[in-house]
Amino acid sequence: MTLSNQWWQWCWWLRSSVLLLLCVSPLVYSNDILCIDHHRHPSHSTTYQQHTRQCNKASSTHVKKATQTTTNKVYYTLHCADKSAVCDHVNHTVRQATDILSSLLQLETPLYANVSYFSFCDAFDECTIDKSEISIGQAYPSVSYLMTDQSDNMTRMYPQATLKQYTRLKPKPQWLEYDIISQFNADNYWYYSDDPSDILPTQTDLLRTILHELVHGLGFVSSWTDDLYQRFEPYVDNLTPFLTPMLLIPPKQLDTIAQNEDTNHGNQPFWGFVEFPLDKYMVYHSVPLTSITNLLNHWGDANVLYNTIYDMVNAWINSDLHLYAQSAYHGSTTAQDIAIALPNKNDTLLMETSLVPFADGSTLSHVDYSSYHNTADYLMTYTTKPGVGVTAMNKNFPTGPVGPGLLHVLASLGYRIKRPGYQTIRPTLIFWNPPDDLVGTTDNPTASASIVPNGPARTPYPSSSSSSPAPSSSASIAFNSTLPYLLSPLLLLLCIFFVSL
């Protein structure tokens, strides 16, 4: 056999292996409707707490009456816990924010925002938190639906506001009353849009903040998080940080499994990772983050039950797939390394990746501050300086607070834009349904648990310990250099290259 033939056969084998890895998806789907309730605590910069359920069984009392309006715009209900005069200012500002969005979006179905204005100090005990770390507001989708995008066969969490634009979707979900849940901190020194005087250097523009948060509720949010790293870090010496999308949790998990979550007790399941629609367009240099999600979902075939948390950690470290997760972390903490590739437009929108360490809720769910804070696309930076309001920014950027790059992103999520030049993208979506044999669920309650004895996992050190015990004899190599960060994108590009042969 000649060397050229050996090389050709090796390439064919690698291409076939990569095709098998990428094309055999652990996700199946049907016409059942599964949705995920989201909850966030504003004083914790963490990702969403999730609860998956059969949303087609939602109570009809939670459905907004269609007779309330015939105009497709953004509506809101304000719950204000402050003095009446302040509430009037807040209401005026919220109305202006929803009017701005309504003037830009050609909505297929009306959207409803639940807006609350109250003291975070009283409600969330933020009174003793450093002032620079106190949250001034937040918004999130009330619910997301697990949908499979047939353009790339990926399953993602579609916020209700986004999915409402897909009018050809069948069957229709029983929409919840509100699409967006938003909360704003009455303890902050706000500037209201009906204030006749100029904004003070110590005030924060409430209009700008409301617009920013409502856009998050429309779907400008990423699923990538370091939650799994935080979960594993106590069990491994010098664990290299890594990033993954949110963990998928099926609706039928056993109570005995659910109670083991975030503990070191009992069996530990892995059912896969799941993205938001925005993640579909993110690229790490030329590598789509979705490609990394696809690879990571082959860890344990996204359907594995580990005997203990130690077995789960060992299995993760022993898998080469964790190198891709390390690479994703590296990209998310290196300025201007990750961007949104705007579809049908030869341009990108740089995402916030300058924060070190990774900051859940800020990194990847905002645009790059250094690039955009003084441009027309300033709205979705993760922070804003007091004393800078929409009125002043409009003088420099007369197109308004929702910039052209952001409008292109909203169009790529499925929203129609009233201004010319923005192409709406709506792939064919079908409802996702978990396989019948998912371990740790009522459909498969006696699944065997995997034991992985060899690996670096060890008992977490007591918080008061001043010294570290000797590592166990089964400890594997600690990846403390930058080598995995350099190799992972190259390996992924190599895989993508062979798939395209």
pLDDT score for 323: 97
Query: What's the half-sphere exposure (Cβ side, CA atoms, 13 Å) at 20?
Result: 7
Instruction: Give the C-alpha separation, 13 to 248, whole Å.
Output: 32
The confidence score (pLDDT) of residue 284 equals 97
Tokens matching residue 382: 């993760």
209 alpha carbon, distance to own chain's centre: 20
Mean pLDDT of the chain: 84
Rounded average pLDDT over 283-296:
96
* Distances, alpha carbon 412 to alpha carbons 246, 344, 415, 433, in Å: 21, 9, 7, 25
Other CB atoms within 10 A of residue 102 CB: 18
Q: Which residues pair with 36 in a beta bridge?
A: 52, 144
Residue 205 in 3-state DSSP?
Answer: strand
pLDDT for 131 equals 67
Closest CA to 143 of 52, 245, 273: 52
Give the tokens for residue 62: 């939670």
Q: Which two tokens stand for residue 357?
A: 């360490």
* pLDDT for residue 107 is more than 50: yes
Contacts 24+ apart (CB under 8 A), 170-176: 171/31, 171/33, 171/56, 173/33, 173/35, 173/55, 173/56, 173/145, 174/55, 174/56, 174/58, 174/60, 174/63, 175/63, 175/64, 176/58, 176/62, 176/63, 176/142, 176/143
Q: Which residues contact 415 (CB under 8 A, 6 or more apart)?
A: 105, 106, 107, 162, 165, 218, 424
What pLDDT digit, counting tens, does each position of 408-461 carry? 999 999 999 999 999 999 999 999 988 889 999 999 999 999 999 999 999 998
Residue keyed to tokens 């590598």? 287
Residue 397 reports pLDDT greater than 90: yes
Distance CA 219, CA 197 (A): 34
| 376/405 Cα distance (integer angstroms) | 8
Two tokens, residue 470: 């000797």
State which amino acid sits at residue 21.
L
pLDDT for 49 beyond 60: no
Taking a C-beta distance cutoff of 8 angstroms, is the pair 487, 324 a contact?
no
Give the pLDDT band of residue 271 (cuts 50, 70, 90).
very high
Position 305 pLDDT exceeds 70: yes
pLDDT digits (tens, 9 = 90+) for 170-191: 888 999 999 999 999 999 999 9
Question: Measured between alpha carbons, how far is 474 from 455 in angstroms, rounded to an integer?
Answer: 5
CB 220 within 8 A of CB 161: no
Between CA 439 and CA 302 the distance in angstroms is: 10
How far is 429 from 397, CA to CA, in rounded Å?
36
Helix axes 404-413, 206-218, angle to 10 degrees: 30
The share of the chain scoring above pLDDT 70, in percent, equals: 79
Cis status, amide bond into 171, omega within 30 of 0? yes
For residue 104, which of 360, 495, 419 has the smallest C-alpha distance? 419
Distance in angstroms (rounded) separating the CA atoms of residues 349 and 339: 5
How does pLDDT run across 344-355, given as a tens digit for each residue? Answer: 788 999 999 999
Angle between helices 84-104 and 206-218 (to 10 degrees): 50
CA distance linking residue 15 with residue 17, whole number of Å: 5
pLDDT of residue 41: 54
pLDDT tens figures, 203-215: 999 999 999 999 9
Q: Which of 12-16, 91-95, 210-214, 409-413 has the lowest mean pLDDT?
A: 12-16
**pLDDT level of residue 50 (50, 70, 90 thresholds):** low
Per-residue pLDDT at 175: 93
Residue 93: HSE in the Cβ half-sphere, 13 Å Cα cutoff:
31
Task: Parse the chain into domains and list their residue ranges.
Answer: 33-57+72-431
